[in-house]
Structure 1
Amino acid sequence: MPNPSHELLVGCAECDGILRLGFDAASGRLEQRPLQRITASKASWLVVSADGERLFALEDVQGGGRISALRRDAAGQFIVTASMPSEGVEAVHGCLGEEARHLLVAHYCTDALPGGSLAVLPVSADGLGRVTQLLAEPFERPGAQRQASSHIHCVVVAPDGLHVFACDLGADRVYEYHYQGERSDPLAPANPRHLQLPEGSGPRHLLFDAGGRHAYLTLELSNQVALLDYQDRRLRLRTLYDLDPPLQPPADRRLGALHLSVDGRFLYVSRRGAENQLVVYAVDPLDGALEERQRRDSGGVEPREFALAPDGRFLLVANQRSDNLLVMQRDPDSGLLGDTLQELHVPSPSDLKFIGRPYG
């Protein structure tokens, strides 16, 4: 593969370094040897700028989280320009604010103390500044296990760029903030303060559609996908989709990532535990409703994240606990997933990001 048409970045939750692999969009195959192994420690989540020139690696290091800012040099290699503490524990998700002025970071924090938090770091031409705002939403539920305290699992910017939403798996809430990008402390609590989800549901990842009218949310603990309406700058729960019958015997069933196809016609959801699968839904173009079309084995254990190839003809899945990365065929017309085209051994892969055409 002398001239790969795209590149893929692979974050790793339990190893040192980010893999940068070439991807051939015609054949759907990944280069076996990395184009670059980017120095980073346990970079479980990656944030890439829209132009693919900048990369932010959320690293889990001893004593707390750290964020490394990287930029492409003239040869196309990613080099570290700044490294800052994230001021929280277990940085698991992040995104760039409007006009890429700030990096927003969600801290999960398994322990009750200090609990989950949301950090804001200013982005500059030189890289990244220190945390200018750290928000926590104290919460306690005595006797609970995974929901005894706050656990912020993701942060996303609404399509209007003026609001930010953070999912708290512990409190069963999606918090809303007004975003004022010109300020050093850009996040201000909205009113009402949050969207309350059913107790024990465990909201994990939130995704808006391209039109900004609807959003989808994986409920990790209740094994459901939520359809939300976004109107008047507020999220409202419309309906819940069960992945299994409610009365099915208890088992380890946890939802993970979710992504829409580029054309918005299909939603993909990963599930882990008793079933390691990718679930395919058709999306109603009028009201955003979902209709299940397929369940496809992930080809490994714990499909934490996955990514659709830029042209939509392939889907790549990171199976974290079986240390493998799979490339699957995808039919853009039906949305269905087909055969496995390639499997690579990658230690504990946790995030996948395409970054467009390579240099050279």
Structure 2
Amino acid sequence: MSGRLNPLLFVSALLDIASAANIFVSHYTGTINVLTLTSTSSGGYTLTQNSSLNVGGQPSWMTFDSSSRTIYSSDETGWGSAAITAVTVATNGALKLIGKTNAPLGGVHNALYGDGYIAHAHYQMSQVSTFKLPLTSGQGPLETFTFTMSGKGTNPSRQDAPHPHQALVDPTGNFLLVPDLGADLIRIWSINKASGKLTACPSFTQVGGTGPRHGVFYGKDILYIGNELANTVNAFHVTYPASGCLSLSLTQSLTTLAGNKTAPSGTKVGEVYIKDKYLYATNRRDLSFSPNDSIASFSLDDAGAMTFQQITSSGGTYPRTFAINKAGDLAVIGDQTTANVVIVKRDPATGLLGTQVASMRIGTVGQPENDDGLSAVLWDE
């Protein structure tokens, strides 16, 4: 036969590829990666490496601005110098470094806010910093806030100093909240959107030893905080006065295990995440599916009350981050220590997580309790 393409085979191949989606993955060795998840008409999935870019340092968190297709990455480097980086992503997955500037050490999270600004939480340095965008070499922070404590907290080994762990903008865009794991505080600022300047508001004080790490809003009036040291999720009612500062009132607290059981020693709640009326929390080192860890899920009523639903395997160890696609039918889990990306099915109607459909190791594996391995995952949406 000649080398001509058989049109029937060509059409068959096209039909077999039902859809494809990209996933962003950062690794503590300094890379940002793009993976492509492809589903087929036969119901299977394949996960392949698309591209990779070494941005240096220890990328710990990614925020994706879909309008400009830019990833902003925090750097958890704890010695020498750290940076904030901006990387653009082409629609085919190609990565390009477009901005980088020095930042305080130990950056663990960032968030875009106001009219072109970015806020960073620096765990190691007990600081929150803000920068004007775009990032340029040597620009320096717009503002830097440094926190102190009069003594060690309830958990001295983990609460030796303030440890901001997230920069979270409320749904109105008028306030910045920062869970401080070391000080047992939820720090609050009001935002001047035009200038990017922050004005301090009264903080909310958690019970000693709670260790607030990561938060997420449910609508405008309900906030959930995942607590790394207490291994709980706290629900808060949010009050917005006519003028002045946002305030919080605690309404509920549950552990991240069935029956409100206390987590095993060594467990550390990671990220909390909301999709529709369901809340998810990553359990690191709980070994509920030994040797693997778990993801807990809760249903939410209209008032924001949590009801435990299920606990499922994370498909690896130390799940640091978690995300659900816009369609709501797939979830991606970033297992830090085993350095693997895990894709599981999700029922959009019930919120329940289902079977694992794909998994892929990225870079080198890590060691428990170390800042190594895989750090964060995001859908390209």
Q: What TM-score comes out, normalization by structure 1 length?
A: 0.87
Is 1:22 aligned to 2:36, yes or no? yes
- Aligned partners of 2:145 and 2:34: how far apart in 1? 33
Question: Distance between the aligned counterparts of 1:5 and 1:128, measured in 2?
Answer: 39
- CA deviation map 1:203-240 (0-9, x unaligned): 0001111x211011001101110001111222221121
37-46 vs 287-296, which moves further: 37-46
- Aligned equivalents of 2:223, 2:266: Cα separation in 1: 26
The question of 1:95 aligning with 2:111 is answered yes
The two structures, once aligned, show a CA RMSD in angstroms of 2.5
Q: Give the residue type in structure 2 aligned to 1:121.
A: F
Asked if 1:145 is matched to 2:157, the reply is yes
Report Cα offsets for 1:285-341 as digits up to 9, x if no partner.
Answer: x20001011011212110011111221111111111112111111111111111111
1:176-213, Cα deviation, whole Å (9 max, x unpaired): 101002225x11101xx20001100000001111x211
CA distance in 2, matches of 1:247, 1:312: 28
Alignment of 1:221 with 2:246, yes or no, is no
Structure 2, unmatched stretches of 5+, are: 1-15, 241-245, 288-292, 364-372
Matched, 1:179 2:152: no
Which residue pairs with 2:167 in the alignment?
155
Offset at residue 158 of structure 1 (A): 0.7
Matched residue type, 2:281: V
Shift of 1:116: 1.3
Q: Which of the numbers 211, 222, 226 marks the counterpart of 1:202?
A: 211
Amino acid at match of 2:96: I
Contact 1:140 1:148 in 2 (8 A): no
Query: Equivalent residue for 1:298?
Result: 314
The CA deviation at 1:252 is 1.0
**Alpha carbons 1:313, 1:329 under 8 Å: kept:** yes
Contact 1:281 1:290 in 2 (8 A): yes
57 and 250 in structure 1: CA distance in 2 versus 1, 3 angstrom threshold: closer
Higher relative contact order (CA 8 A, sep 6+): 1
> What is the deviation of 1:157?
0.6
1 CA distance for matches of 2:30 and 2:136?
24
CA contact (8 A) 1:227 1:240 kept: yes
Asked if structure 1 preserves the Cα contact closer than 8 Å seen for 2:99 and 2:135, the reply is no
Q: Cα offset for 1:117?
A: 0.6
Aligned CA distance change for structure 1 residues 47 and 279 (closer, same or farther; 3 Å): same
Distance 1:355 1:66 in 2: 23
The aligned counterpart of 2:122 is: 107
Q: Which residue of 2 aligns with 1:355?
A: 380
Structure 1 runs not aligned, ≥5 long: 110-114
AA in 1 matched with 2:37:
F
Q: 8 Å contact 2:179–2:187 — kept in the other structure? A: yes
CA contact (8 A) 1:17 1:39 kept: yes
1:128 and 1:278 mapped to 2: Cα distance? Answer: 40
Q: 1:292 to 1:247 in 2, by over 3 A?
A: closer
Over residues 77-108 of structure 1, what are the superposed CA-to-partner deviations in whole Å (9 max), with x where a residue is unaligned? Answer: 3322221011x221010110034x11111001
Alignment partner of 1:234 is 2:259: no
Conserved in 2, the CA contact under 8 Å of 1:140 and 1:150?
no
Separation (CA, whole Å) in 1 of partners of 2:72 and 2:20? 23
d(CA) in 2 for partners of 1:141 and 1:247? Answer: 31
Tell me which structure has the larger Cα radius of gyration: 2
Deviation of 1:52 (Å):
5.2
In 2, Cα distance between the equivalents of 1:194 and 1:329?
A: 39
Return the offset for 1:28.
7.4
Report if the CA contact (8 A) 1:11-1:18 is conserved: yes
Equivalent position amino acid for 1:205 in 2: H
What is the CA-CA distance between 1:126 and the residue it aligns to? 7.2
- Does the alignment pair 1:131 with 2:141? yes
> What SS is found at the alignment partner of 2:144?
strand
TM-score (norm 2): 0.83
Deviation at 1:247, TM superposition (A): 8.4
Q: Report the Cα distance in structure 2 between the residues aligned to 1:72 and 1:273, rounded to whole angstroms.
A: 33
Partner of 2:265: 251
For the pair 1:212 / 2:228, whether they are aligned, the reply is no
Equivalent pairs: percent with the same residue? 21
For residue 236 of structure 1, what is the amino acid of its counterpart? S
User: What is the 5 A alignment of 1:116-127?
Assistant: 116-124=126-134
Relative to structure 1, the CA distance from residue 19 to residue 248 in structure 2 (aligned partners, 3 Å threshold; closer, same or farther) is closer
Provide the secondary structure at the position in 1 that maps to 2:84: strand
